[in-house]
Structure 1
Amino acid sequence: MNMSPTFTTAERMAATGPLPPGHPAVKTRKVGVLLSNLGTPDATDYWSMRRYLSEFLSDRRVIETPRIIWLLILNLIILTIRPGRKGKDYDTIWNRELNESPLKTITRGQATQLQASIDAGLFGASGDKVVVEWGMRYGNPSMKSAIDKLSAAGCDRILLVPLYPQYAAATSATACDKVFEALMAMRWQPSLRVAPPYHDDPVYIEELAKSVTEHLATLDLVPEVILASFHGVPKQYLMKGDPYHCQCVKTGRLLRERLGLTPENFKITFQSRFGPAEWLQPYTDETIKALAAQGVKRMAVLTPGFSADCLETIEEIGAENAEYFLHGGGEKFARIACLNDSAGGMKVIEAIVRRELMGWVEGATPATVDVPVVASV
């Protein structure tokens, strides 16, 4: 394999002679891995929530409503009312010990465990050249701060890993936008790779299936229906060419087939719609209410579009939608956690990083997965 050379300062001096007076320090060349997730408020109070929501909802990738109209709605209505409501929701899931959201805790854990795995030999001796950082598209730590850390560590190549299994302009693309924005201000830009979506990656599908079977094995619950609930986007985004819907459907189909279930007892839905426009359907909340009304008594819901648990998975699914089901006549409801920084979740992230660092890091090779015989849950 043709590897780019890495030179220490001593090696450069031996090859080219002493550095001229005043020359900036020459660092050992390293490779950075930047894990990126959506974002988090710094706290649950009104002004912290307002800052976060303002940054998030001002993103043209997220809201495509004509700019002048949207800014009036955002600043006169939404940022007056919504911060208080969302702050109360965040308060119900807040990590009190670390004073942060679960998404921040989990994303840090993913980065820490990935670095530990690399240090323990994921890439053999070449692992000492790989540095892991993490950043959020909205809120802190910012993408720019993560890139600054990687640059200061001597990374002249960076692999960006948007932690979204399915590609959407409002998630993966805007993460790239923020990284490109940071690079625009740099005199010496690092080379950049962006990991593609992994919605149909065999390792990802296998670990999702394991998470379902292992979680259900701990419960006195055999679900009549399992829902795979993905975050929704406006339907017009699909009509404009966004591949998100198709990739969600493929993830759901592959997972259903891996679990040996039928379309009747494994359904795909979309949650978290906002505003009056039509979003991707079927809607999660309406589906859950309808199933309860039809006499379904036992249900489990997983959220395979999220790599880490957050407000939309813990509160929206685990509390709000669970209440819809139980109040509608259902008897038992289970929320299956995201892969997070579990052993299975780290297998997925490591598989992506191993594949995408090929040619940059000696010892980077594709991961393989042995899929067992299909068995129903």
Structure 2
Amino acid sequence: MSSRFRDAPTAAGPGRTGLLLVNLGTPDAPTPAAVRRYLGEFLSDRRVVELPPLLWQLLLRLVILPVRGGRSAANYRKIWLREGSPLLVYTARLAGELQHALPELIVRPAMRYGTPSIPAVLREMQAAGMTRLLVLPLYPQYSASTTASVFDAVAAELKTWRRVPALRLVADYHLDTGWLDALEARVRAHWDLHGRAAHLLLSFHGIPQRFERAGDPYPRQCEAGARALAQRLGLADADWTLTYQSRFGREPWLEPATDRVLDTLAQSGIDTVDVICPGFAVDCLETLEEIAMQNDEAFRTAGGHALRYIGALNESAGHVAALAGIARRHLQGWPA
């Protein structure tokens, strides 16, 4: 009789602890077909789009993917690296640095959508003898559309295993001291090199307002982390603004919107703006193309002089130290 459970490969010796770093995902190539495949998976997640499935899938397949596939592919081509998608490249580098910092663990990167997939990476870790698993979604702020979706994918894979590993999940780290240290160092290094702009914008990815009304803590965590960073930098309230980017669809999203605030700042006489995106662990389409290109052009068109994007933490030493510290704390007390 065949089993519906996946049996673990036989491994000698004691079990090992795995650290799974999960980022959002990316198309495999900057082509319309690859982008449509990626967006089709991403936008079919019920955690991301909470609309009636039948109606939404008709709209997605017949309208959104045909239109956005080519447009998004053109945007990806603007930022594509020789090694591949920036999000995948920088996430892999970050995982490699964390493996050096935590040699006792099995550290692997995975993508919630696209490749390397969570199921494939978990099976690789299982084959390496993993019996304990710490999942670290690379989202400093919790949202059901991101962190909870990672949990869903991990659980969906593990429910097919005969031997399920002991499991822990990092829900958020928006006020982690090491992470704030790394962000502060990133901003100050930028100021040391370029001088301080007239205003600092802290731009986070947006979510629909109804997610917040349903109890999602994401905006409160964005606000808490942003204020903590501003205080560390010695900024007065008038010197910085928290905004939300990447709106999609017609329903109300979190406000204020990044593009609209930039327009207001330019018209009010603010000529230079520094922008950092604390919700993005590594650089990707939303930072490199949307902020550093699209919003820079819009800011200049509105009368501003320069939008200076402050890069994500990526595989910087401070970022690696922060995530290693988070992992060590969450691994405390786990029986050997």
TM-score interval (norm. to shorter): over 0.9
Cα contact 1:166–1:247 (8 A) shared by 2:
yes
Counterpart of 1:193 (choices 137, 162, 168) is: 168
Counterpart of 1:61 (choices 47, 61, 82) is: 47
Residues 35-70 of structure 1 deviation map (CA, whole Å, 9 limit, x = unaligned): 000001000111111110000000000001222221
Counterpart of 1:331 (choices 297, 305, 311) is: 305
Distance 2:81 2:248 in 1: 26
Cα contact 1:30–1:131 (8 A) shared by 2:
yes
Q: Does 1:112 align with 2:108?
A: no
SS class of match (1:323): helix
SS class of match (1:218): helix
Residues 163-204 of structure 1 deviation map (CA, whole Å, 9 limit, x = unaligned): 100000110000110000110111111111101200011111
With the length of structure 1 as denominator, give the TM-score of the two structures. 0.85
Q: 1:102 to 1:361 in 2, by over 3 A?
A: farther
Q: 1:261 to 1:315 in 2, by over 3 A?
A: same
Q: Does 1:235 align with 2:221?
A: no
Distance 1:65 1:349 in 2: 34
Q: Rg: which structure is higher?
A: 1
Identity of aligned residues (%): 43
Distance 1:191 1:25 in 2: 17
Q: Does 1:101 align with 2:85?
A: yes
Residues 327-358 of structure 1 deviation map (CA, whole Å, 9 limit, x = unaligned): 21111221001111111111111111111111
Cα contact 2:31–2:70 (8 A) shared by 1:
yes
Query: Structure 1: any 5+ residue segments left out of the alignment?
Result: 1-22, 120-126, 363-377
Q: Does 1:158 align with 2:144?
A: no
Q: How many pairs are equivalent?
A: 328
The Cα of 1:25 is off from its aligned counterpart by 4.9
Residue type matched to 1:243 in 2?
P
CA-based RMSD = 1.3
SS class of match (1:335): strand
The Cα of 1:24 is off from its aligned counterpart by 4.5
Structure 2 counterparts to residues 208-223 of structure 1, below 5 A: 208-219=183-194, 221-223=195-197
Cα contact 2:102–2:324 (8 A) shared by 1:
no
Q: Does 1:36 align with 2:11?
A: no
The Cα of 1:222 is off from its aligned counterpart by 2.3
Distance 1:48 1:308 in 2: 21
Match of 1:77 in 2: 63
